[in-house]
Amino acid sequence: MDIAPRPVTVGFPFINESVYSEFRKLLNKFDITLVPKINNKLNDLIILGKDKWKPGEKTGVVYLEKCLDCSAVYAGATKREHKVRHMEHMKMKNKTAEISIHMKSLNHTFDESCYIILDTEKSWFKARVSESLHINFLGKNAINVQKDVYRLNNEYKDIISAFRE
C-alpha cells in the first residue's frame, strides 16, 4: 500500500533571484521545497564558534571544513557533534579519508576550529540532500570524493555547474 511521501524542505543558499528560482522550479519536480538561506560567500569563509550545536541533538548538521593552507574545502553531514566528526576525519578511514589524504600528501592542515555550519536539518535525508547540494556548489575546491547530488538527476547537476563559476 502506498504511503503519501512526506514533503521535503531543503535550505538553500540565496545567491540571487534567478539562480534561486531556477533551483526552486527544478526541485519542485522532485517534491522538494526550497527555503532561502543567507548565503555565506564560499570564498570568504567565516570561522564560527562551536555553539551552533546543542549537545545530544540528533539533528543532521551539514558543515564545511577548510584547509588552512589552500582553498580546499570539505562538506559533510553528521548526526553528531562536529568535533567528534572532525576527529574521525583526522584518521585514515574509508569514508572520511579525503581530509587526512589531503593533509598527508600536501602537508596541509585542517583545524578543528576552521569550519562553518552550512545547514541543520531535522531529517537525515534532508541533511544528505543539503550536503550534496553544497558539495556541488563548492565545485573544484571540494575534496569530497562523492560529488553526486544525492538522489537528484543530471539535469539538476547541469544547472549547478552552469551557475557555479
Cell triple for residue 94?
574509508
103 binds Zn ion (CB under 5 A): no
157 contributes a contact to Zn ion by CB under 5 A: no
Question: 32-37 and 110-121: which strand pairing?
Answer: unpaired
Tell me how far apart the alpha carbons of residues 50 and 96 are, in angstroms, rounded to a whole number.
Answer: 21
- Residue whose CB is less far from Zn ion, 142 or 152: 142
Contact with Zn ion (CB under 5 A): which of 24, 37, 80, 108? Answer: 108
User: Which segment (31-39, 46-54, 77-85, 101-109) binds Zn ion by CB under 5 A?
Assistant: 101-109
Instruction: Tell me which residue of 37, 40, 44 sits closest to 23, measured CA to CA.
Output: 37
Most distant pair of Cα atoms in the chain: their distance: 55
Binding mask 56-95 for Zn ion (x = CB under 5 A): -----------x-xx-x-----------------------
87-90-95 Cα angle (round to 5)? 95
Query: Binding to Zn ion by residue 111, rule CB under 5 A?
Result: no
| Footprint on this chain of Zn ion (rule: CB under 5 A) | 67, 69-70, 72, 108
